[in-house]
Structure 1
Amino acid sequence: MGCGATCWQVLVCVTFCCTLVFVNAEDPYRFFTWNVTYGDIYPLGVKQQGILINGQFPGPDIYSVTNNNLIINVYNSLPEPFLISWNGVQQRRNSYEDGVYGTTCPIPPGKNFTYILQVKDQIGSFYYYPSLAFHKAAGGFGGIRILSRPLIPVPFPEPADDFTVLIGDWYKANHTALKAILDRGHKLPLPDGILVNGRGPNQTYFTFQPGKTYRLRISNVGLQHSLNFRIQGHKMKLVEVEGTHTLQTTYSSLDVHVGQSYSVLVTADQTAQDYYIAVSTRFTTKILTTTAILHYSNSAKKVSGPIPGGPTTEIDWSLNQARSIRTNLTASGPRPNPQGSYHYGMINLTRTIKLESSAAQVNGKQRYAVNSVSFVPADTPLKIADYFKIGGVFRVGSMPDYPTGKKMYLDTSVMGADFRAFVEIVFQNHENIVQSWHINGYSFWVVGMDGGVWTPASRNQYNLRDAVSRCTTQVYPKSWTAIYIALDNVGMWNIRTEFWARQYLGQQFYMRVYSPVESPRDEYPIPKNALLCGRAIGRRTRPL
């Protein structure tokens, strides 16, 4: 790429003309131009090298409506390669645009790349983040909101306003220093603090009008810790989880595990003053806490009193809350039909996969694995190699369906899967930490979770009626979580831990969902503007 503005406009126009056969011409387009740079930030009072998008930390929100086409032109002004991925955006039939190294070539320094996304049949609250190296520890993330189309009913009145709330643990050290620690084969220390929208204690304000109700879209964009979110003197009504309208249960505090997103409604129904918004770590020996401010527009008093306390290490409390989050079966989703019209519990399973995480030393360095395989990136993105049929980059079947008991080893692990299969996946956690798992390209039903070791008898306690559908799920210490997933999206999809140091050191793999028909009805062709790298250099995409 790397052309100027005029060249880029011509390229986009040509691309649109050539791709209208694949997207509905009636669906609106939204255009974004982003410049990614380094800049000084001081989120915890210490100067750091942050990743800015158009000079902002965090980056700008992406505002969209179901089925919108998002044209995002990203200029990489960093001195190293860069990629952005879109947490929760399913990239229907189009994993080429997913923005992880297994699917997309990095944007070289000084060049640009235009992502062409469609938020097909989606609503909800998500976020984007930088996926290469350890860039996520420097920023480059921001919120994504996908609103329902005007004619689709939403199961709650329109709020007075809609706020993005990005929470996450944070290090004072630069991302380059953190990456160097991992590259030397060592573990990272505990994070230094927690940020709310990129700022430290009492630096972020949300202004409410008395008597009105507001929507908060809360995403944990941090690096490892589960966080508890609460508001002094106020209740939160949960209404949406990662694209699913939920039963509208009221909570005084909410556990948000790393990588997860929730929408809550909060009503300004208390005395006119300022109130603490408290965010603290869960399941840690040292509790990190930060605060933001809920400010009433007619406030007569600054924030005061003790910071509201929350749960700390109680696992059962969190487990019970997780089980209480259920799908609203009568509400519409992105389409007018009720969310409960798809009876996932009545579909026959075609396959069971059990994924077991582990930590060990390999060649004297710390590594993490799934089913004993610690992922190492190939020299060419897997999806690109698959398209051009470049041999020797990866092997389908290098990720086993079950734990093997083998000693941990390194491989570019890829699991094969059939298009339209209906699969049960069990995440088994033998460790003493809470884990969080994400699957790109999909939402799945979280049908069960409990302590101990999963067995076939565990299916007796599955929720086969109104389990929440989402894209990121937690697995508690010495516990299991089971999901059902309909593999209806052809492509190469990343399955990973959201514990970012573990992801970087191998606790991830790719699932190749394959259709032998190779029809554009099942999967779009490679984008004409796709960047080519590794062994794909010198090859051609499709002619413009």
Structure 2
Amino acid sequence: MAWWPDGGFLMMMMTIISFVQAEDSNRFFDLRVTYGNVSVTKYVPPTRVILINGKFPGPELYLVTNDNLIINVHNDLDEPFLLSWNGLHLKRNSYQDGVYGTTCPIPPGKNYTYAFHLEDQIGSFFYFPSLAVQKAAGGFGAIRILSRPGTPVPFPQPAGDFTILIGDWYTGEDHKDLKARLDGGRMIPRPYSVLINGNEDTASTSLTVDKGKTYRFRISNVGLQLSLNFEILGHMLKLVEVEGTYTIQTKFTSLDIHVGQSYSVLVTMDQPPQNYSIVVGTRFTDSRSTNRIILHYSNSKSSKFVPNRQPDNDIDFSIKQARSIKTNLTASRQRQDAQGSYHYGRIKISRTLILESSAGVVNRKQRYAINGVSFVPADTPLKLADYFKIKGVFKVGSIPDKPGRAGIRLETAVMGVHHKDFLEIVFQNREKYVQTYHLDGYNFWVVGIGNRWSTWSHASRRDYNLRDAISRSTTQVYPKSWTAIYVAFDNVGMWNFRSEFWARQYLGQQFYFRVHSPANSSRDEYPLPKNALLCGRASNRHRRDFIP
């Protein structure tokens, strides 16, 4: 589509904005997606990466609670492209989620304009390319959502605010080669290295701080597979926010940040003036990698620094840390669930799901599954098929609520949920690897994390945190253990649930929740946008009237 086609786009935006209050602000972004050669390290030749506005990582998006976002994305790649918004709550608007189950890809040489509203959301998030294995080539960037002026924040204004994107990286390997391996039925190897803000060779990179002042660090794991540990040697990390939720302010020497997760910490510069290492290292792997940048005190007269160290692989320590992360119930302007605010422990459970991952070979190709179902993308985005009532694209209920004993089958898996259902979901991990799962469009309460070598049972509920469990959109499940969450399905739409281990996601470890309201009202779900791209079996369909 063109930028202003006969005023149609402007009319569409005015209609969308009419859904929200007139005093809410509108923010416009223009993002151009290109390839570029970037040296992430001096040890290998420049690598082809995906740039956003010529940058790797892409530009950080600075937003404010209740903003209306209009984001025009130009695709100058030689392949289709989509951006998705990790952790953002697109209320009543899964059409703008930016995953293939809801949104047609942007063709090469074309553009698409996302339009959505940030409803009572603050915190640290990121955007990323959701198609194929493009995430392995970059295309990601940070998102920072600030509170409205005058809204109390549960800590003093820091002297500075740093964003740090960390992640594993396939140095020297093109994302198309990785995709070809997966399409050929072979699993890709583990990533080779760790990047900090798009750089593997960061020993000469430094952040300058003043002694005695406190700074905020926003850290997101934008990688493809590995859990990472973040530490500033000699300094304590005071955790204050996790994926849009203010936390009880607990101090840690280091933080485990699993793939897809985001954290904010406050750090006070209370050490003797010199250089200190900010260390990022892999966790729970046999082959260990670390990277570091330098924290430089402005009044330091010494060029020496406290060197990095290798994080250990203590899973019990990590479990204890995860259980200690809780919601700050006294903080103002927290997102409150419509079905009972923070009294989530008193809400009647509508249904219990037990989700278990598995791996196997199907038709001589490696596949991964949840409850025995390995997801296969349809020829038409599921949300469009649902809107146009196109039969044969997917079937609601094509994935069971609990794991069975049968092998893996291929299916375009969709699980039906009624609007306002309140579900208990248990992730059972029988493998030796840490797993991480994400649910688009929602936060959920992490009410229970099992010990090592434990299996969930009804008796496990006795140890649930039903008062101040952390609310987030991405959770880890430790090896030979389980994690339990509560989620209020109050956001109508088609929402992606996936493994954040990206190769597993690509090979089937995902499905969609169809959250349905029989009212068919714009108060529950926004209509199909007038500028929506149509593809697959929806290509020749006509949009119904756009009803505000």
User: Which range, TM-score by smaller chain?
Assistant: over 0.9
Q: Name the residue aligned to 2:136.
A: 137
Please tell me whether the aligned partners of residues 65 and 146 of structure 1 are also in contact (alpha carbons under 8 angstroms): yes
1:446 paired to 2:446: yes
Q: Name the residue aligned to 1:15.
A: 12
What percentage of aligned pairs have identical amino acids?
63
Please tell me whether the aligned partners of residues 154 and 331 of structure 1 are also in contact (alpha carbons under 8 angstroms): yes
Q: Structure 1 residues 63 and 175 mapped into 2: Cα distance closer, same or farther (>3 Å)?
A: same
TM-score by length of 1: 0.96
Q: Structure 1 residues 336 and 183 mapped into 2: Cα distance closer, same or farther (>3 Å)?
A: closer
> Which one-letter code corresponds to 2:29 in the other structure?
F
> Which one-letter code corresponds to 1:48 in the other structure?
T
Alignment of 1:69-218 (within 5 A): 69-172=68-171, 173-200=173-200, 201-218=202-219
Q: Name the residue aligned to 1:381.
A: 381
Q: Distance in 2 between matches of 1:91 and 1:366?
A: 33
Q: Name the residue aligned to 1:293.
A: 294
Q: Name the residue aligned to 1:401.
A: 401
Q: Structure 1 residues 266 and 243 mapped into 2: Cα distance closer, same or farther (>3 Å)?
A: same
Q: Name the residue aligned to 2:476.
A: 474
**Aligned to 2:486, which of 479, 484, 487?**
484
Please tell me whether the aligned partners of residues 424 and 484 of structure 1 are also in contact (alpha carbons under 8 angstroms): yes
Q: Distance in 2 between matches of 1:242 and 1:40?
A: 32
- Size of the aligned set, in residue pairs, is 539
Q: Distance in 1 between matches of 2:179 and 2:252?
A: 38
Please tell me whether the aligned partners of residues 197 and 204 of structure 1 are also in contact (alpha carbons under 8 angstroms): no
Q: What does the per-residue CA deviation read over 1:14-50, in whole Å, with 9 as the maximum and x for residues that have no partner?
A: 2222223322221101110011000001113332110
Alignment of 1:214-253 (within 5 A): 214-253=215-254
Q: What does the per-residue CA deviation read over 1:438-457, in whole Å, with 9 as the maximum and x for residues that have no partner?
A: 00000000000113111111
Q: Structure 1 residues 272 and 508 mapped into 2: Cα distance closer, same or farther (>3 Å)?
A: same
Q: Which moved more, 1:202-211 or 1:72-81?
A: 202-211
Q: Which moved more, 1:517-526 or 1:300-309?
A: 300-309
Q: Distance in 2 between matches of 1:211 and 1:181?
A: 51
Alignment of 1:278-317 (within 5 A): 278-310=279-311, 312-317=312-317
> Which one-letter code corresponds to 2:244 in the other structure?
G
Q: Distance in 2 between matches of 1:385 and 1:31?
A: 30
Deviation, structure 1 residue 293: 1.4
Q: Distance in 2 between matches of 1:231 and 1:390?
A: 54
**Aligned to 2:515, which of 504, 513, 516?**
513
Q: Structure 1 residues 336 and 539 mapped into 2: Cα distance closer, same or farther (>3 Å)?
A: closer
Q: Distance in 1 between matches of 2:86 and 2:322?
A: 20
Q: Name the residue aligned to 1:463.
A: 465
Q: Distance in 2 between matches of 1:150 and 1:389?
A: 44
Please tell me whether the aligned partners of residues 148 and 334 of structure 1 are also in contact (alpha carbons under 8 angstroms): no
Deviation, structure 1 residue 281: 0.6
Q: Name the residue aligned to 2:356.
A: 356
Please tell me whether the aligned partners of residues 530 and 541 of structure 1 are also in contact (alpha carbons under 8 angstroms): no
Alignment of 1:311-326 (within 5 A): 312-326=312-326
Q: What does the per-residue CA deviation read over 1:92-130, in whole Å, with 9 as the maximum and x for residues that have no partner?
A: 000000000000000000000000021111111110000
Q: Structure 1 residues 213 and 377 mapped into 2: Cα distance closer, same or farther (>3 Å)?
A: same
TM-score by length of 2: 0.96
Q: Name the residue aligned to 1:365.
A: 365
> Which one-letter code corresponds to 1:283 in the other structure?
F
Q: Distance in 2 between matches of 1:282 and 1:221?
A: 15
Q: Which moved more, 1:485-494 or 1:327-336?
A: 327-336
Q: Structure 1 residues 527 and 275 mapped into 2: Cα distance closer, same or farther (>3 Å)?
A: same
1:28 paired to 2:29: no
1:61 paired to 2:60: yes
The secondary structure found in structure 1 opposite 2:154 is coil
Please tell me whether the aligned partners of residues 204 and 293 of structure 2 are also in contact (alpha carbons under 8 angstroms): yes
> Which one-letter code corresponds to 1:154 in the other structure?
V
Q: Distance in 1 between matches of 2:432 and 2:334?
A: 38
Q: Distance in 2 between matches of 1:400 and 1:529?
A: 35
Q: Which moved more, 1:40-49 or 1:131-140?
A: 40-49
Q: Name the residue aligned to 1:43.
A: 40
Q: Name the residue aligned to 2:269.
A: 268
Deviation, structure 1 residue 352: 0.2
Q: Distance in 1 between matches of 2:244 and 2:41?
A: 32
> Which one-letter code corresponds to 2:465 in the other structure?
N
> Which one-letter code corresponds to 1:403 in the other structure?
P
Deviation, structure 1 residue 432: 0.3
Q: Distance in 1 between matches of 2:419 and 2:125?
A: 25
Q: Structure 1 residues 405 and 518 mapped into 2: Cα distance closer, same or farther (>3 Å)?
A: same
Q: Name the residue aligned to 2:417.
A: 417
> Which one-letter code corresponds to 1:350 in the other structure?
S
Deviation, structure 1 residue 202: 1.8
Q: Distance in 1 between matches of 2:211 and 2:136?
A: 37
Q: Distance in 2 between matches of 1:529 and 1:490?
A: 20
Q: Distance in 2 between matches of 1:107 and 1:268?
A: 46
The secondary structure found in structure 2 opposite 1:460 is helix
Q: Distance in 2 between matches of 1:476 and 1:463?
A: 18
Please tell me whether the aligned partners of residues 329 and 341 of structure 1 are also in contact (alpha carbons under 8 angstroms): no
Q: Distance in 1 between matches of 2:290 and 2:398?
A: 42
Deviation, structure 1 residue 273: 2.0
Q: Distance in 1 between matches of 2:205 and 2:369?
A: 38
Q: Distance in 1 between matches of 2:179 and 2:13?
A: 39
Q: What does the per-residue CA deviation read over 1:174-194, in whole Å, with 9 as the maximum and x for residues that have no partner?
A: 111111111111111121110
> Which one-letter code corresponds to 2:447 in the other structure?
V
The secondary structure found in structure 1 opposite 2:305 is coil
> Which one-letter code corresponds to 1:66 in the other structure?
T
The secondary structure found in structure 1 opposite 2:95 is helix
Please tell me whether the aligned partners of residues 224 and 500 of structure 1 are also in contact (alpha carbons under 8 angstroms): yes
List gaps (5 residues or longer) in structure 2.
none
The secondary structure found in structure 2 opposite 1:483 is strand
Q: Name the residue aligned to 1:503.
A: 505
> Which one-letter code corresponds to 2:374 in the other structure?
S
Deviation, structure 1 residue 302: 2.6
Q: Distance in 2 between matches of 1:538 and 1:203?
A: 55
Please tell me whether the aligned partners of residues 274 and 305 of structure 2 are also in contact (alpha carbons under 8 angstroms): no
Q: Which moved more, 1:431-440 or 1:300-309?
A: 300-309
Q: Distance in 1 between matches of 2:304 and 2:199?
A: 18
Please tell me whether the aligned partners of residues 293 and 303 of structure 1 are also in contact (alpha carbons under 8 angstroms): no
The secondary structure found in structure 2 opposite 1:484 is strand
Deviation, structure 1 residue 336: 10
> Which one-letter code corresponds to 1:428 in the other structure?
Q
Please tell me whether the aligned partners of residues 527 and 542 of structure 1 are also in contact (alpha carbons under 8 angstroms): no
Q: Distance in 2 between matches of 1:133 and 1:335?
A: 32
Q: Distance in 2 between matches of 1:329 and 1:465?
A: 9
| Alignment RMSD | 1.7
Q: What does the per-residue CA deviation read over 1:460-514, in whole Å, with 9 as the maximum and x for residues that have no partner?
A: 1100011000000000001100000001000000000000110010000000000
Q: Distance in 2 between matches of 1:289 and 1:329?
A: 36
